[in-house]
Chain A
Amino acid sequence: MSELAVQPRHNVRFLVAGFVPYLLAVVAAFLAAGIFIAAMGFNVPEAYSSILFTSFRTPTAFIQTLLKFVPLMLMALGFAVPLKANKFNIGLEGQLILGAIGATAAGILLADLPAFLLLPMAILAGILFGALWAALPAWLLYRFNINEILTTVLMNFVAFSLMDYIATEVWGDPGAGHPTTIPIAPGAYMPLLVSSPPLNAGILIALLTAVVVYIYTNRTVSGYELGATGSNPRASMVYGINTRTMFLLSLIIGGALAGLAGAIEVTGVQHRLIEGMQSNYLQLGIIIGLIAKGNIRAIPLVAFFIAVLEVGASAMQRTMMIPVEIVFIVEALILIFILLADVIRRR
């Protein structure tokens, strides 16, 4: 079994052949969006220099980029693992919210625990809540064969209302002026790696998680069966793999990863539940997962690149008044051009 999972050795030619279409797709996306930006009357070189280089100009911006990178990479992993089984987890947003709720609940309810227990409890609660939120659609798929794209999405909308309820009625902070909970106990705060500007240890957990996910998908029997289920369900079934269980498992793992992202946001960055804290991580996580074509090793790189674009785009909106949505179009275009590159390569 295990020798089947060994990847082909990557020689230089293979790397170049894999990388060049990506580079061309990125350039093409920037060119296409550039025409659009120019047509809207904005200064294209200035806008692009802001988008691409802001992250590397100041320590603050660089750390901001790393802080964005963490949830983006985890969300992308949460999309990529079910994608291995050919399942689409569009419920990452709700799963992240539930992870954030879990961590907040632990950080408030268990406030008396010592820090060495409280922080792990908060993170575990986040992972568990995220996994459970994904488990319901996963079970509906397993038991009734209901399309997971729909049910995972619908769970997002339920999560929005639940978040609003918790941030206003349960632990609401009336002084905040926006649906927000009271802060979690300081014992649940993630320790800092760099104190100013603050960078929390969540990035270490995230990178470690990426390694674990890689080992699981590429070096274990279960991970191999997951990939086999996705590429040829019928053959896998004949071979004796319980494909429905693999679908179920992959979605629950995806939910756990998104839940971890939410827990890190709460314990590391916000220290409370804030409505809207999930930002546009769902869309970006999916885009990253699709750009990386589900390749676990490529995901951290793509996630970092997208984090750079995002931080650069907000700077561009602040300084040049160019709508930040431009960069979202660039990201969608990168994905579309990569799909096109695949089509050309197939011919």
Chain B
Amino acid sequence: MEGIGAQVVSLAKLVMLTMVPYVLASQGTMLAGRTGLFNVAQEGVMLVGASVAFLVAYLSGSLFYGLLAAALAGGLFGLALAYFTTTLKVNQFVIGLALFFTGLGLSTLLYKYVIGVTLQPPLIPTLGDVAIPGLSRIPFVGEILFDQNVLVYFAILLSIFLYYLLYRTSLGLELRAIGENPKAADSLGISIPIYRYVTAIVGGMLIGLAGAYLPMVYTGTFTAGIVKGRGWLAIALTFFGGWAPHLIFFGSLFFAGIEVLAFRVQVRGVAIPYQFLLMLPYVATMLIMIFASKRVGIPAALGLNYDRERRTLLD
């Protein structure tokens, strides 16, 4: 029987590890959302990210190439979203759903095409922990924060960077202005298309990486059900994180906590049927959204396209 201290440390470490896909997908959603572009294709883009990352890593033997490919694929979906909404002015939800479906089909199709049907799923090695020299030796904190896989570090640094970008730079101010009032931003000479394209592409890359994390850290292989609603949860998280990078980060920790808890209780064999534990993250999310609904805001132009010639917002 290990000591309570060690148990807490290993649990906290697990929560940090589980947080990553939520952070990446949510920050990606937030980034485009802050310019008014509401992406609802996460679930599909994450599936493509997971599939592409697995396949490229499997074929090339390099996890890094796998991550790169997932980011590229996610970026392409972001580009498509930006093109259809910003250039062609198609309703954001409609094209978002169309891209979600495309991702859903494409991910399994690619896997079946490259791997085919096998009895034993092919495996890739999972992403190992990289201890940061010195810092990882700090008792407790070192093991939780500084002895993790690279994407955990990336998720933390990304959140800090986005906070700085959004609230401490003029670039961030312009970005936020577009989401709140595109007309005013436009009259100040801020290029709305450029901001929307760039944030959609970068956001898509992050969502693709969030998908890549699942085979690379959890399973070592791709299955059609691998994302399991995390893409949709990420959107919910973005909402109750008030489209703010720091709140999203803490929200992700909370989500990860629930996921770890549900899993732990299941393993321990508590008297509650495990099906009800599996419902926990979704039910908790809805409850939190009720509490957050009165307290946090959303970008005023979220989900609306901007028509520059007519200077109006379109559905």
Contact = CB atoms under 8 A, between A and B. Distances in A.
Given A149-B40, A151-B289, A332 B294 contact: no
Interface stretch (B62-70, B96-104, B123-131): B96-104
Interface in B268-303: 273, 275-276, 278-279, 282-283, 285-286, 289-290, 293-294
B interface SS class = helix
B239 A147 contact: yes
A107 to B, nearest CB: 22
Interface in A160-186: 160-162, 164-165, 168-169
Given A154-B236, A161-B276, A162-B275, A335 B101 contact: yes
Interface of A: 40, 86, 88, 90, 140, 144-147, 149-151, 153-158, 160-162, 164-165, 168-169, 283, 286-287, 290, 323, 325-326, 328-329, 331-333, 335-336, 339-340, 342-343
B137 interface: no
Contact of A154 (B40, B95, B282, B315): B282
A165 B273 contact: yes
B153 interface: no
B93 to A, nearest CB: 6
Contacts of A164: 275
27 contacts: A88-B97, A90-B97, A140-B289, A144-B289, A146-B289, A146-B293, A147-B239, A150-B235, A150-B236, A153-B232, A154-B229, A154-B232, A154-B236, A157-B229, A157-B232, A157-B279, A161-B279, A164-B275, A165-B273, A165-B275, A165-B276, A325-B109, A328-B105, A329-B106, A332-B105, A336-B95, A339-B95
Interface residues of B, number: 40
Given A154-B233, A162-B275, 8 more contacts: A140-B286, A149-B93, A161-B279, A283-B104, A287-B101, A290-B97, A329-B102, A336-B98
A157 B282 contact: yes
A150 B97 CA distance: 13
Most chain B Cβ neighbours within 10 Å, of A145, A156, A169, A339? A339
Contacts of A158: 279, 282-283
Most chain A CB inside 10 Å of its own CB: which residue of B95, B101, B104, B276: B101
Contacts of A157: 228-229, 232, 279, 282
Interface of B: 40, 84, 88-90, 93-95, 97-98, 101-102, 104-106, 108-109, 112-113, 228-229, 232-233, 235-236, 239, 273, 275-276, 278-279, 282-283, 285-286, 289-290, 293-294, 315
A155 B283 CA distance: 8
A332 B103 CA distance: 10
B291 to A, nearest CB: 9
Contacts of A339: 84, 88, 90, 94-95, 98
A150 B96 CA distance: 13
A168 B90 CA distance: 44
B112 A161 contact: no
A40 B109 CA distance: 11
B97 A286 contact: yes
Nearest to A346: B89
A180 B6 CA distance: 42
A88 B101 contact: no
B93 A88 contact: yes
A147 B109 CA distance: 31
A323 B279 contact: no
A342 B89 CA distance: 10
A331 B104 CA distance: 12
A147 B293 CA distance: 10
Nearest to A293: B94
B101 A169 contact: no
